[in-house]
Homo-oligomer: A and B are copies of this chain.
Amino acid sequence: MAKKPIIGKLSGERILIFNNDGISRLNAKGYGELNDNFLSLSIIEGLYLLSKNWIKVKLNNKYLSFEELHDYAQNIDDKLCIKYLAYRDLRNRGYTVKTGLKYGSDYRVYSRENIDEVHSEYLVKVFSEDKPCAISELTGFVRVAHSVRKKLIIAIVDDDGDIVYYNMGYLRL
């Protein structure tokens, strides 16, 4: 993908791609949601692709730097930083990563390129290691994942920005 960056246009919480070649290149790698006339990326996808120099992001006829897009996203999602770090790590490991909102999680993850299959393999929720969390956030996550029969991943970002992955599940004694 060492080609010329694809132009995306920032529109509210999405980044839209109208160029057909760009749409098919990004879609083939599992980025964005396909609409009739355009592909729409989440801002976290946009940050990742911008950091790789695969896209450029335009707002009001001006290209945004990584920092400007990050500032913009920060105002929308205050959990942005750790979510971005986890997204980047999972993508760098070769997984396809989509939003997990409809399952009350941060991401759903498909094993390498297998996104055509109906079901994601994992639901992912991201936590910061140095911030207290309600135990019920974890138990609720286990309950949801169990009820939709998906495996879950707890991604914990430590103070060094490293990410460690854990599973968790019910135990029958």
Contact = CB atoms under 8 A, between A and B. Distances in A.
Interface in A152-167: 153-154, 156, 158-162, 164-167
A99 interface: yes
Contacts of A16: 70, 81
A135 B36 CA distance: 26
Contacts of A75: 60
B74 A9 contact: yes
A50 to B, nearest CB: 8
B99 A130 contact: yes
B160 A165 contact: no
Nearest to A160: B33
Count copies of this chain in the complex.
Answer: 4
Interface in A63-118: 65-67, 70-71, 74-82, 85, 88, 90, 93, 95, 98-99, 101-104
Contacts of A93: 173
Interface of A: 9, 11-14, 16, 18, 33, 35-38, 40, 42, 51, 60, 65-67, 70-71, 74-82, 85, 88, 90, 93, 95, 98-99, 101-104, 127-136, 138-140, 142-144, 147, 153-154, 156, 158-162, 164-173
A27 to B, nearest CB: 13
A70 to B, nearest CB: 7
A168 B168 contact: yes
A6 to B, nearest CB: 13
